[in-house]
Amino acid sequence: MRVQYLIPGPMSKGPLGRGEMERRAALLQSWAFAGTTVDVVDVPEGPASIESVYEEMLAIPETLAGVARAERDGYDAVIIGCFGDPGLDGAREIVAMPVIGPGQCSMLLAAELGHRFSVITVMESIVAPIAHQAAKAGLHGKLASVRSAEIPVLELMKDRDATMRRMIEVGRDVVKRDRADAIVLGCMTMSFLNVADELAAELGVPVINAGKAALKAAESLVSQGLAHSKRAYPIPPKLRTTPQEVVA
């Protein structure tokens, strides 16, 4: 099984660089089942990080082109590497393989683990979009809260201990005040800090690593021979009648 983790921004050109892509690839591979190969690929243009709906929209054209390339290159599934799942619905329309949104699949998983869940994310600017994302997934009644750590994406890894302390502080708040039974890490860089197990031990509730959840969702669908319904995500009429390459 070949799975591509597609970063909807040019990480290799940014401050995190290709070394961070390689680190994420190694983590994903360590989480994968035997027989699964995971490749991390970024897109050539787009925002350096995504902390708003505006930046999500900027990322979508290149992301859609990247998803189409992945299918042509023989991948069995693609994970869109951003918690906001930019372009997810459109990507599912243009390919036959499973396309996984980490935000959607990790919140659906959280809904199975308790009565109510909270999402801890990076900035206040994406609190409302994540709440809307949960509602779109049919989970509004299961969402206890979305709270931000107020640490920008590109600063999360600069001081792991400080980031961890802040996430514990916010996590305690959502468990005590918002009565969350489970927590989702609402940013992929948070997930690749690989701290979910430590947070769970500290907070006493399940903490979902969205990157790992997305990988396991991809492996599950491919292993069962399942993909998203073409009644829900039909091929766009223009692509159906005049096949053409999807380009950004």
Digit-coded pLDDT (tens) for 101-146 = 999 999 999 999 999 999 999 999 999 999 999 999 999 999 999 9
- Contacts of residue 5, Cβ cutoff 8 Å, sequence gap at least 6: 24, 25, 28, 38, 39, 40, 41, 78, 79, 81, 211, 214, 215
Write down the pTM of the prediction.
0.94
Residues 6+ apart with CB under 8 A from 28: 5, 38, 40, 211, 215
Q: Looking at residue 245, what is its pLDDT? A: 67
- 92 with 9, same domain? yes
Q: Please tell me the distance from the alpha carbon of residue 225 to that of residue 17, in angstroms, as a whole number.
A: 35
Rounded CA-CA distance 3/99 in Å is 10
Examine the domain organization and report whether 94 and 144 are in the same domain.
Answer: no
Q: Find the CATH number of the domain harbouring 218.
A: 3.40.50.12500
pLDDT-derived band at 240 (thresholds 50, 70, 90) equals confident
The answer to whether residue 16 sits within a structural domain is yes
Is 97 in the same domain as 35? yes
84 and 17 together in one domain: yes
The answer to whether residue 247 is domain-embedded is no
CA 168 to each of CA 172, 208, 240: distance values in angstroms, whole numbers, following the listed order: 6, 14, 49
Domain range for residue 114?
103-210
Q: Residues 21, 96: one domain?
A: yes
Do 50 and 27 lie in one domain? The reply is yes
Same domain, 82 and 156: no
Q: Are residues 96 and 115 in the same domain?
A: no
Q: How confident is the model at residue 59 (pLDDT cuts 50, 70, 90)?
A: very high
Q: Is residue 79, in this structure, part of any structural domain at all?
A: yes
In a domain, 23, yes or no: yes
Q: Which residues contact 218 (CB under 8 A, 6 or more apart)?
A: 3, 76, 77, 78, 79, 98, 100
pLDDT band at 242, cuts 50/70/90?
Answer: low
The residue-averaged pLDDT of 69-95 equals 97
Q: Does residue 65 form part of some domain?
A: yes
Report pLDDT for 241: 75
Specify if 246 maps to a domain: no
Pair 136, 55 in one domain: no
pLDDT at 18: 95
Please say whether the beta carbons of 233 and 93 come within 8 A.
Answer: yes
CA distance 248 to 246: 7
Mean pLDDT across the chain, nearest whole number? 95
pLDDT tens for residues 188-230? Answer: 999 999 999 999 999 999 999 999 999 999 999 999 999 999 9
Question: Within this chain, do residues 24 and 42 fall inside the same structural domain, yes or no?
Answer: yes
**pLDDT of res. 244:** 63
